[in-house]
Amino acid sequence: MPTLLIQPIQTITCGKYDAEIIGISPGATDHLVGYITTSDGNYNATWSDSGICRDNPAEFNLNCQSEELSDLIDKAKKISKMLG
């Protein structure tokens, strides 16, 4: 299933890297799609419902305690359930 693009959401990872969430992938295990910016460049990333950036350093994980990210994760779950 294709990624549903959203208005980008700027956030910070647990390792204090800039991250941008640009879409929701309803058919995937990791619903949130975006990228992370480090001093080495930009990295494509996907995150689980709990903010884990699978197969990457823990510094790339998201802090899902923010209200904006919490709301986005809830919406991603609903969309995935609806389309799944």
pLDDT in tens, 10-56: 999 999 999 999 999 988 889 899 999 999 999 999 999 889 998 99
| Closest CA relative to residue 79, chosen from 2, 9, 27 | 27
As a whole-number percent, the residues of the chain with pLDDT over 70 amount to: 96
Query: By residue range, what is the domain housing residue 13?
Result: 4-83
Residue 84 has pLDDT above 80, yes or no: no
Q: What is the pLDDT of residue 63?
A: 82
pLDDT tens per residue across span 33-44: 999 999 999 999
DSSP state of 10: E
Other Cβ atoms within 10 Å of 64 Cβ, number: 18
Query: Do 2 and 60 touch, CB atoms closer than 8 A?
Result: no
Number of domains in the chain: 1
pLDDT for residue 80: 80
